[in-house]
Chains A and B, each alone.
Chain A
Amino acid sequence: MSREYTSSEMMSVTAARALTNGMTCFVGIGLPSEAANLARLTHAPDVTLIYESGTLQTKPEVLPLSIGDGELCESALTTVSVPEMFRYWLQGGHISVGFLGTAQIDRFANLNTTLIGDYRAPKVRLPGGGGAPEIATNAKEVFVTVKHSKRTFVKDVDFVTTVGFGRDGKARDNVPNIGQGPTVVITDLCVLKPDPETKELVVTSLHPNVTREDVIEATGWDIRFSGQLATTPEPSAQELEVLRDLKAHTNAHHASAQAG
């Protein structure tokens, strides 16, 4: 059975499926937020979503533009201060999954959201770390979702804002009280997972109608493929309907100028 969907929809649905009921997810803005809320509105109604603005167990009806939109606070179980969020809830060990996006990712799943080029003379200045550096080490595991391109998937990131497995794949070795790091990377072409030994990202599943060549072409290093390469299941009609409905709601909400 085949149905019409875009590669972006394929990515969001696949990312959403990584979350399950019972997980407590610290959600980044953008693609992770879309995927996390899609999970909550489909197969994982009891997933707990937490945003760094302090909103615990939030259930927004439209996707927030910023991590502090009023919608997040008003639909949350409770809202705590930002120091409490990072100290008690994240550092204290209550987050099972950190769900992050990025501007650059390298073969050891290090993330760069700081800048392109040299730090003192940047070609492009990006927003910076935000919550990610500590989400990536204090959450029990990390999911990353990002669009696949040669600009994004680089051999070595220009700057390690947020550690995956370090420049050599060993950054987490023998470090006490640290999460296991990125366990899955979901793109619009495929799913990647770190090799259990080397921690280098390996393609484990290709999305339907995507070829190995497509992935090789969009990756800035000599990408490896799993021996048991799978095909990612297509989105269901229900997942697509919920996702499209959520995005339509969100666009309408954010386009409307505020009165008064």
Chain B
Amino acid sequence: MAEFLSLQGAVNRHIRNGDTVCMEGFTHLIPFAAGHEIIRQEKRDLTLIRMTPDLIYDQMIGAGCAKKLIFSWGGNPGVGSLHRLRDAVEKGWPNTLEILEHSHAAMACAYEAGAAGLPFAVLRGYIGSDLPKVNDQIKFIDCPFTGERLAAVPSIRPDVAVVHAQRADRKGNVLVEGIVGIQKEVVLAAQRSIVTVEEVVGDLDAGVNACVIPAWAITAIAEAPKGARPSYALGYYDRDNSFYKQWDGIARDRDTFLAWLKNNVFDQNAEKGVA
């Protein structure tokens, strides 16, 4: 049953050095407040998994939290490169970073297989691509019924899932609206989960087919208003596209990045919200 904790308490209790952590939210509801708390608590040697690493993992990689990254698209959408990710991959700063890359389709299927309790996912994918040559998690199998050659990837079953959602009710049931991405799948695939929410309300006011994650499928809930900024939360605030553009300049240079990190993460605390 979901336990209500402070964000500081939830990260402290449920994320350990060396864990495999999926912080999801496909271009929406990206859990930045939780990412900043992980940076502040100086978690180390994490294997970070996320389809679109985005600024959140750029920040965590630059802050030295990650030893490995599993992903399918590592850019600043519509802007360009993730410079901290590139610096880690190309120059080993602040530490070397092992990468394993997939396609979106494969990762989406791997999350779904994780939620379904299966050891692997099967898809019609990676045909003609060089990705299987550089990622030993990608294999090919023959369909036992038709003989068709299909791709197989291991399911994703992380130690911890971290997602952000619009709201929880007081029992800890969570409503996710808009681009729901793979939020539900990653929570169900993980051993433990932390869900940050914009607000806790008396009634979720959810439609009968809404994407609701029941309290008994979640480990911890932390209230984190504006916890997805500069990403967005449909119905609460818009994506701060201008910050995504500014990030290119901030992240390009190590000293500028470190100064940003000090002012906007280390000198803040979870209760103040995201800068």
Interface residues in chain A, defined as those with a beta carbon under 8 Å from any beta carbon in chain B: 29-30, 52-55, 64-70, 72-74, 79-83, 85-87, 90-91, 110, 114, 119, 122, 125-134, 137-138, 159-163, 166, 171-172, 175-178, 253-258, 260
Contacts and interface: CB of A to CB of B under 8 A. Distances in A.
A206 B234 CA distance: 44
B238 A134 contact: no
10 contacts: A54-B179, A65-B241, A69-B241, A80-B180, A114-B101, A127-B75, A128-B74, A138-B124, A175-B127, A257-B243
B124 A137 contact: yes
Contacts of B230: 258
A131 B26 CA distance: 12
Contact of A256 (B27, B77, B79, B242): B242
A129 B104 contact: yes
Instruction: Classify the interface of chain B: helix, strand, loop or mixed.
Output: loop
Contacts of B130: 114, 159-161
A129 B103 contact: yes
Nearest to A130: B73
A133 B103 contact: yes
B178 interface: yes
B127 A66 contact: no
Nearest to A87: B109
Contacts of B123: 86-87, 91, 134
Interface stretch (B15-23, B84-92, B250-258): B84-92
B134 A86 contact: no
Contact of A67 (B77, B82, B105, B234): B77
Given A54-B179, A128-B73, 4 more contacts: A29-B78, A81-B182, A130-B103, A254-B242
B245 A254 contact: yes
B125 interface: yes
A220 B139 CA distance: 33
A97 B103 CA distance: 19
Which of B27, B72, B238 has the most chain A CB atoms closer than 10 A to its own CB?
Answer: B27
Contacts of B148: 176-177
Interface residues of B, number: 60
Which of B102, B129, B234, B245 has the most chain A CB atoms closer than 10 A to its own CB?
Answer: B129
Contacts of B72: 128-130
A26 to B, nearest CB: 11
Instruction: Classify the interface of chain A: helix, strand, loop or mixed.
Output: loop
Contacts of A255: 242
Given A68-B179, A138-B124, A81 B242 contact: no
Which of A54, A122, A138, A175 has the most chain B CB atoms closer than 10 A to its own CB?
Answer: A54
A91 B124 contact: yes
Given A73-B178, A114-B101, A65 B79 contact: yes
A191 to B, nearest CB: 24
A255 B51 CA distance: 26
Contact of A163 (B101, B129, B178): B129
B203 interface: no
B105 A131 contact: yes
Contacts of A83: 108-109, 111-112, 182, 185
B214 interface: no
A176 to B, nearest CB: 6
B260 interface: no
A68 B242 contact: no
A87 B239 contact: no
B206 to A, nearest CB: 15
A134 B178 contact: no
Which of B78, B86, B102 has the most chain A CB atoms closer than 10 A to its own CB?
Answer: B78
Contacts of B127: 133, 137, 163, 171, 175, 178
Given A73-B234, A133-B125, A127 B181 contact: no
B73 A129 contact: yes
Contacts of B239: 65-66, 69-70, 258
A125 B81 contact: yes
B28 interface: yes
B216 interface: no
